[in-house]
Amino acid sequence: MRKAFTLVEIIFVLVVMGILSAGTFKAIEMIYIRSAQAKALTNLSLQSQVVLDQLSIFLYNRIPNSVIGYTPGGVCEPLNDLSTARPVLEWLGSMDDELLRGDYDGFVDMNASDKSSFTLSSPNTNILVNPDINLVFAGAFDAGSEEIQACSGAFGWHGVNSNLSFDVSVGTNMIVIDDSVKPSFIYEKYYLTQTAYSVARGVNVNLAAGCITDLNVSTSANTLFLFYDYQPYSGETYCGDTGSGTTAGKATVLAQDVTAFSAQEVNGIIRLSIDMDQTIRGRTCGVHVSKQKAVF
């Protein structure tokens, strides 16, 4: 009767255990990869949807036809010509918080206004002390031909003139247009604005700009930024602009791992597109999410 294993039997058992261990490890690795892939897919899907929802809220409070698509290097197109997707989207935001709060009315009493001195009667309007405020008439877009000026003289985008937005002083129940350029026509409805907005990826901006380095977060070519607090009608462009001009304003990070962002006009609406990628350890290809959102 044997009391021990032979060397051959021990080697055989070790070989079998090694094969089983390798198979078990591979199975566990695949489970881990699938779990990481599912988690990354969920996170990217959620992040991309949050970004698009945030941008749609900002764009909902835009001044109509102030929206432009921009490609660094000087290519600018107004909203109605945005048939080609552009990597940078810019627009003037209306002061909707102040409007909802009742700080201004949004309408001009044409009969009570003194058109000769450009003093507009705006009932229920309170004093707004802010040198960055500009006024844009909603009716300025009725002429049709003026719409194409968005990139060539309407709002001051990227160094051009600002002939359709006006410096104003807001007092009690009145607004005085004190811009050196006066409007050709005075319309009943108006918008007030105090900032422009821009959305762009790191690959299209100056990542060394102070407003970006001050964020103290990891940024790269695939970081999607929102720029704000700058006034193109005062000759300013967003602080991360790679073109010429007076850069100003602030920046915040919307999302990381954004491999593509674009905006274009389709059938009268703005279509936003975003692509996000994330690598998964153990896989040669990562997780990819592509989403679009229509903003009316």
pLDDT digits (tens, 9 = 90+) for 25-51: 666 666 666 777 778 888 889 999 999
Residue 103's contacts (CB-CB under 8 Å, 6 or more residues apart) are 95, 125, 126, 128
Percent of the chain with pLDDT over 70: 88
Torsion of CA 274, 280, 283, 284, to 10 degrees: 50
This prediction has a pTM of 0.85
Return the amino acid letter for 2. Answer: R
Sign of the Cα torsion 103, 106, 108, 114 reads positive
Q: Write down the domain spans for the chain.
A: 61-256
Query: CB-based contacts of 118: which residues, under 8 Å, 6+ apart?
Result: 176, 177, 178, 182, 183, 186
| Beta strands 109-114; 119-121: pairing state | antiparallel
Confidence of residue 184 (pLDDT cuts 50, 70, 90): confident
Is pLDDT at 193 greater than 50 in this prediction?
Answer: yes
Query: How far apart are the C-alpha atoms of 43 and 69, rounded to whole Å?
Result: 28
